[in-house]
Amino acid sequence: MSRSVHSTHKELREARLRSYHDDKIKAAEVAEIEKDLARKRRIKGTVAESRSTDEVKNVEGLAGPIPIRILDQGPCILHPATPEDIEAIQQRLPAGVMEGVSEIVLSLGEHAQLEGEDAHIWDPDPITNRIGLETLPGFYKGWIWGTYQSSACRITLHAFVSDPAKPCVMPTTAYFKLQILSTFVHEVAHHFDHTRRIARGRWLASEQEKVEHFADHRQHEWTQTCVVPYLEEAYPQDVAELLRWLEVHGQIRFTLGDLISDPRRVYVATIDRAVEELLKDVLQDTHRIETLFNFAINLKIADLYERAQQVIDRILVEGPDHEDALELRANIWNFQESYAEAALMASRIVGRNPRNWRARTTLTRAYEGLEQWAEVIETATESLTLFDEELDRFDAIASRCSAYWKLGKRAESDEDLRTLQNSPRASWRVKWILRKRGRTK
């Protein structure tokens, strides 16, 4: 995750009005902000001709040497991207995008991790006490991976922390370099946007969504066109070892570019999470088929439907009647809008095991996709005779309620709606139904 901090003239006004115990401190802070703003104006002035375009010239080049400062070091502090890596990526980026960057700092980013409303939910790592999370067994990262400070035109990348008492069996060199260098190009995009693409002379808080939109698009492009090719060329053995490990334990062949999520999209989970859970299953010596099934689920949650289907293929080779894998396949088909295939698969499972509630829910969703409302009503009604869990019953009632409405059976639909309205636990389903009907209450 990245965060960008943008200093403005508003900051300068507030600093001038703020009360200080020591006037010298106030004068120094005001002078520093004025200096930063003047520097920003100079940078913008030198590149004014590029403000009128949304395109980045695809000419590789490096504007000049940029200092790289390592702030935090130690046996357990890991900076996956070395100064040499960062310099190599700069050379591959479009010409001019790094122009004006004052320095690149490699640090733990302890203070940055404490900022934000959600900082309190993260736990400190056992080595440095920096807040964050354990991304892989024995490796800890901050919840903010990097920052761009516009007032100083400074990019900071935050280190991983490793616990030598918890060795990792998965090759991590290429994996971590990919993540951090992708963060680096995200921050570079913020710098480019800040210094060369802003037509107005000040940041507005309302523009933050546009700022992140631009950075996310450039991050995706530059990760795939600059970072991935560089790692494949500079670290072929590390990349091969990583992909081989994933193929052995996940039973599918990835490319390095597959292992970084597209920042332009919003995910319930990501490929990172799928890899992390796969490693946990390997370390816990989980049964191979169960490991593959869990991996397929996590790939599906990450919207990697075809990859998940490939893992399911491997499961079904060894167990053609693996009911959960078959149901997951049908479930994914629903997400891929292959409703007829999903309905056929789910109905076969239900025929063999009428109490398989996942298959019944998947079958209901397939019929909804096919707009076969009579079949939705029949399946949901049958489910109500079999489901004991309250939330499962609410799902069935909600589906039947909507199907009745689609068929013009208003009385039956309203009766199901009243049943849902009588339970607070069904409130979101009620809102969903009313929204489908075009009502808000």
Q: Strand order in 139-141's β-sheet?
A: 77-78, 160-162, 139-141, 131-136, 123-124
Give the mean model confidence (pLDDT) for residues 21-38: 54
Are 72 and 127 within 8 A, CB to CB? Answer: no
Give the mean model confidence (pLDDT) for residues 78-89: 96
pLDDT tens column, 336-367: 999 999 999 999 999 999 999 999 999 999 99
Nearest Cα residue to 4 out of 162, 194, 143? 194
Are 404 and 377 within 8 A, CB to CB? Answer: yes
pLDDT exceeds cutoff 90 at 246: yes
User: What's CA 190's distance to the chain center, in Å?
Assistant: 18
CA angle 428, 381, 400 (to 5 degrees): 40
* Annotated domain spans of the chain: 2-7+49-234, 372-441
Q: What is the mean pLDDT of the chain?
A: 85
Rounded to two decimals, the pTM is: 0.80
User: In terms of residues, how long is the chain?
Assistant: 441
**What is the token pair recorded at 428?**
């979101």
pLDDT for 206: 44
pLDDT for 58: 52
pLDDT for 21: 46
Give the mean model confidence (pLDDT) for residues 419-441: 84
Cα distances (angstroms) measured from residue 218 to each of 54, 182, 196, 202: 11, 10, 14, 22
pLDDT exceeds cutoff 60 at 61: no
CA distance linking residue 152 with residue 7, whole number of Å: 9
Are 56 and 215 within 8 A, CB to CB? Answer: no
pLDDT tens column, 118-167: 777 888 899 999 998 898 989 999 988 999 998 899 999 999 999 999 88
DSSP secondary structure letter of residue 108: -
CA distance linking residue 279 with residue 263, whole number of Å: 23
Are 150 and 184 within 8 A, CB to CB? Answer: no
Mean pLDDT comparison of 56-70, 144-158, 256-270, 370-384, highest-scoring range? 370-384
Cα distances (angstroms) measured from residue 302 to each of 25, 131, 416, 429: 50, 25, 34, 24
pLDDT tens column, 377-390: 999 999 999 988 99
Nearest Cα residue to 86 out of 101, 102, 68, 74? 68
Nearest Cα residue to 85 out of 158, 13, 182, 8? 182
Helix-strand-coil split of the chain, %, nearest 5: 60, 10, 30
pLDDT for 15: 53
Share of the chain above pLDDT 90, in %: 66
Share of the chain above pLDDT 70, in %: 82
Cα distances (angstroms) measured from residue 356 to each of 166, 174, 308, 347: 40, 42, 21, 11
